[in-house]
Amino acid sequence: MDWMKLKSGSDVRGTAVGENAPLTPHVAMCLGMAFARFVAEKKKKPITQVTIALGRDSRISGPALLQAAAEGVAKAGANAMSFGMCSTPAMYMSIITPGFQPDASVMITASHHPYDKNGLKFFVEEGGLDGKQVAQLIQMASTYDPEGMAMSGTITEKPFLPTYKEQLANRIRKGLGTDVQKPLLGLHVVVDAGNGAGGFYAELMEELGAWIEGSQFLEPDGMFPNHVPNPENADAMASISAAVVKAGADLGVIFDTDCDRAAVVDADGSEINRNRLIALISAILLDEKPGQTIVTDSVTSAGLKKFINDWGGEHYRYKRGYRNVIDEAIRLNNEGISCPLAIETSGHAALKENHFLDDGMYLVTVLIVRAMKLKQEGKNLGSLIADLKEPVESREIRLNITAEDFREAGKVAIQKVLDYANAAESWHIAPDNREGVRISFDLDGGMDNGWFLLRLSVHDPVLPLNVESDVPGGVKTMLNGLYNVLKDCEGINFEPLMKAIAD
């Protein structure tokens, strides 16, 4: 087996169900052993004094993989602390929570991917491991054969979710400036956990006084029988929107499987995700302290930039990838630029006040605080983003690269667009172009009312293309222009682009 095929960015990920599944308990055991040794070396501690916490989401392969990884930790001579069902953000929080404070932690999850996938995320005190460190772990693990080894370390069970839940409750009380037991009395919240690990959030809402009638799919079920647990999935969002309207709730919240991403739904069923979610949390943060910088990924809309500016903030676009966005926000803060938020359009959001941890549940908790305050004023969350200008048309197209050296073929295509834009009066290269090439257009006599972004995927042989227009027909106009520039590029499948033009 090629172990490196299990590397996915800064995670380990692969098929974990089925006869030829590469992510097996053996692999998890070897990775547990490798991580224990990695942490011991990093912390400069005897391995017998190292403790690694482990948790999992609701996937059917989770229990076996968690047990195997814990055994790997113990066979290395370290101590495994099993949390059982948990969320990805909670696994990091345990490292800095008194009474727990393991040296590091592991989350068994594959985020929103299908039931047969699974993976491992690794955390140390500084945050998640980066891609190079994960590659090092995989390389170490591939040389081990631990099955016949005795466990010289220990495995203990100690749930962390109740403690994490109390941390969220304290954030709500602090945000509302009260220490009463039920500060959310009068608020109606529908929670959709998608049968992932986040069903306990409904318990939290109810314990704090909120009404949760209409909440759905709270029970963990690793087959995900109701909808994909993904705030970007159209069926998932339609499901919670319908549930909110049917229940007459003030808002709905939805999480992905491991709760590091989330979205909300307004009282009328309107989805608040992607650009709308970024606008909402930006408005709340800028209302508290104007003049701050909001870091997002590169595919955010022109309307969002104007919205953030109108709220007194600076919009800073950066490369896609939640680690990229978070690391850039941390860098800006270190340079003296006040930046309270790093957020991807996918829903990965990290707040400075929460250690720049991408935690969808913490994000929702901040939104719940504002929703309660607005309810007391007779308003809802949607009122904060009423002025967000949204595009008339938008498309996302993925162009597969068939060339053997896909990175080179992608770079050639992007350079060709840049060269053309430098010479074309009507093509404007975005001044904050930090990934691929972003071009804005003046359509139908307007100004800066259309744009596209063409970039090279971080991992896959794909050129993702995002395009938005504020005028009808603008998307097709821009796609036509782009196709004429790129049509002679070799090693790229332009059929999806041609189909979008023909539609």
pLDDT tens for 66-122 read 999 999 999 999 999 999 999 999 999 999 999 999 999 999 999 999 999 999 999
Exposed/middle/buried for residue 412 (C-beta within 10 Å: 0-12, 13-18, 19+): middle
CATH architecture observed for domain 393-502: 2-Layer Sandwich (3.30)
3-class SS at 398? strand
Give CATH 3.40.120.10 domain extents, the chain: 3-158, 164-385
d(CA 213, CA 190): 7
d(CA 175, CA 98): 22
Structural contact between residues 290 and 229, judged by C-beta atoms closer than 8 angstroms: no
CATH architecture observed for domain 164-385: 3-Layer(aba) Sandwich (3.40)
Residues whose CB is less than 8 angstroms from the CB of residue 246 and which lie 6 or more positions away in sequence, other chains included: 214
d(CA 154, CA 79): 5
Specify the pLDDT at position 189: 98
Specify the pLDDT at position 460: 83
Specify the pLDDT at position 323: 86
Give CATH 3.30.310.50 domain extents, the chain: 393-502
Residue length of the chain: 503
For 45-101, strand residue ranges (E) read 51-56, 79-85
Residue 295 has φ and ψ, to the nearest 5°, of: -95, 125
- Note the pTM of the prediction, 2 decimals: 0.92
Specify the pLDDT at position 40: 98
Question: Which residue ranges of the chain lie beneath pLDDT 70?
Answer: none
The rounded mean pLDDT for the chain is 96
CATH architecture observed for domain 3-158: 3-Layer(aba) Sandwich (3.40)
Specify the pLDDT at position 148: 86
Residues whose CB is less than 8 angstroms from the CB of residue 291 and which lie 6 or more positions away in sequence, other chains included: 312, 313, 314, 338
Specify the pLDDT at position 124: 97
Angstrom distances, CA of residue 356 to CA of 128, 231, 360: 11, 20, 12
